[in-house]
Structure 1
Amino acid sequence: MGSDEVDLETLHASRERDADADIILSARDITVGFGSKVILQDLNLDVRRGEVLGFVGGSGTGKSVLMRTILGLNHKRKGTIEVFGQDLSSLSSEQRRNVERRWGVLFQQGALFSSLTVKQNIQVPMREHLDLSPKLMDELATLKIELVGLPQDSADKFPSELSGGMIKRASLARALALDPDLVFLDEPTSGLDPIGAAAFDKLIANLSETLGLTVYMVTHDLDSLHSICDRIAVLGEKRVLVIGTIDEMMKSDQPWVKSYFRGERALRRVEG
Structure 2
Amino acid sequence: MSQDIVLFDVEPRGVARVTLNRPEVHNAFNAQVIERLGAIWDEIAGRRDIRVVLIKGNGKSFSAGGDLDWMRKSGQQDRAANLAETIVLAGMLKKLNELPQATVTLVHGNCMAGGTGLAATSDIVIASVETKFALTEVRLGLTPATISPYVVAAIGPRQARRYFLTAERFEAPDAHRIGLVHELAKDAEELAAKGEAMVQALLLGAPEAIAESKKLVRNVAHVTSPDEALMRYTAENIADRRASAEGQEGLAAFFAKRKPNWVG
Assess same fold via TM > 0.5. Answer: no
More helix by share: 2
Greater relative contact order, per chain length (Cα 8 Å cut-off, separation 6+): 1
More strand by share: 1
